[in-house]
Amino acid sequence: MHLKSFLAAAAMALLSLTPAPAAEIDDRRFGFRATIPDGFEKVELPPEEKDTVYQFMKGEPSPAHPALVIQIQRLRGLIRLGQSIKEAELPKQEGIEMKVDQFEWRGHRMDLLKTTVTTPDGPEIRSYVFQCPLSGEAVQLVVGGSLDQEAEIRAAFDSVAKSLVNTQPLHGEGGGTGVTTRELSSDERQKLLWTGIFKLSLFALVLAILVRGVFRTIRGMRGKKKENEKA
């Protein structure tokens, strides 16, 4: 996804900044259901974005405090249930800290990737990533925002992950073929983790910069309107 696409997606997000009720996802193509918590607005995606299938945001962002963002991304391959990511094998990169933990999902112990991205002269972005082994094609849940919103980010992740239900058997417990049947290698999974984190972090930062300009314009217009009413 190129910067132009991020700008387009961020600009679309500015059109829907009003808190919304919980959103229900029933995706028959990938075979899952999920609930997005109250307060998150759905963000329309540009046509050229092929891998992020759902995107939501919450909050009035600023360059110092990016909005909370939820993304569900397709992985174009399969992940076998129980196939773990080893933290020692994750590539090291300056400015990005990764930690592999585990959490319980639908009675299974699943990998949970916790990351911190340090941006030049900007906020640190905390995100949580879960690669879900759906039988037709794996998807990746990414939830992130400003590091100082750690508790709210984790709460949003836990809420969506808890609500995420596979409507077909998981890959590795009797699932059939679907969109694709190719299993992802460890290197491919790691690359997709990096890509997912990058997409969320860049979208949050670009959105924050654009929103600051929009809110300044709106406040200026409101101020002039009040002055005219007083006159």
**Domain 3-230 carries which CATH code?**
3.40.1000.10
Is residue 109 a contact partner of residue 87, using CB atoms and an 8 Å limit? no
Name which of 19-23, 64-68, 130-134, 157-161 the model is least confident about.
19-23
User: What pLDDT score was predicted for residue 127?
Assistant: 94
Residue with tokens 């039988």: 135
Q: From the CB of residue 177, how many other CB atoms can be counted at a distance below 10 Å?
A: 10
pLDDT score, position 227: 58
pLDDT recorded at residue 86: 87
- For 197, residues 6+ apart whose C-beta sits below 8 A from its C-beta are 96, 115, 117, 127, 129, 142, 144
Residue with tokens 């500015």: 14
Tell me the percentage of the chain whose pLDDT exceeds 90: 42
Q: What percent of the chain has pLDDT over 70?
A: 75
pLDDT digit string (tens) for 45-99? 877 788 999 999 887 777 677 889 999 999 999 999 988 998 888 878 888 899 9
- The region of weakest confidence among 19-28, 29-38, 171-180, 191-200 is 171-180
The three-state secondary structure class of 175 is: coil
Residue 162 · residue 104 · CB < 8 Å: no
**pLDDT (0 to 100) of residue 19:** 54
Q: How far is CA 139 from CA 180, 182, 204, in A?
A: 12, 14, 20
Q: What is the reported pLDDT for 1?
A: 47
For 135-166, how does the pLDDT look when each residue is reduced to its tens digit (9 = 90+)? 889 999 999 999 999 999 999 999 999 999 99
pLDDT band at 18 (very low <50, low <70, confident <90, very high): low
When the pLDDT of each residue in the chain is averaged and rounded to a whole number, the result is 81
Query: Which residue has better confidence, 203 or 41?
Result: 41
Residue 218 pLDDT greater than 50, yes or no: no
Is residue 217 within 8 A of residue 225, CB to CB? The reply is no
Decide if pLDDT at 37 tops 80. yes
